[in-house]
Amino acid sequence: MQDTTIRSFRDLVAWQKAMLLVTEIYRVTRRFPSKEMFGLVSQMRRAAVAIPSNIAEGQARASTGEFRQFLGHARGSLAELETQIQIAKNLNYLSEAQTSALSETAMEVGRILNGLIAALKKSNRRAASKSKKV
């Protein structure tokens, strides 16, 4: 099962960093052309919001397997967002500095998610090994 020291999704560094990323995405997309409000702006915001939302929903699930599944969804949304950041840069909606800062934060969230997924897999294997010995 999940680590009992984590009482809430708010305790997860992955969720905290993903929330920072959402906030930054909202800030930078405010300056995008109004013609993109229902296009790229909407897509970027939706993908960004999905990351911490999936982390939170997964942490609230009953099993480690379900948690891992939702972390996988978060990782997929992160990849989608990273692609959209590059599209925004290519369209000159983001400066090089903005792109770099957003990409670095996204990569950090990705590393944390990958570490959390790996830790949950390891924990699950240990639990399965213990149950076989009993």
At 11-30, the pLDDT tens digits run 999 999 999 999 999 999 99
Rounded Cα distance between 58 and 52, Å, is: 10
Structure tokens given for 105? 């934060």
Rounded Cα distance between 113 and 70, Å, is: 11
What are the structural domains, with CATH classification, of the chain? Answer: 9-133 (1.20.1440.60)
CA distances from 124 to 3, 19, 55, 107, 132 (A): 11, 27, 18, 25, 12
In this structure, of 16-25, 97-106, 118-127, the range with the lowest mean pLDDT score is: 118-127
What pLDDT score was predicted for residue 62?
82
Structure tokens given for 53? 């939302």
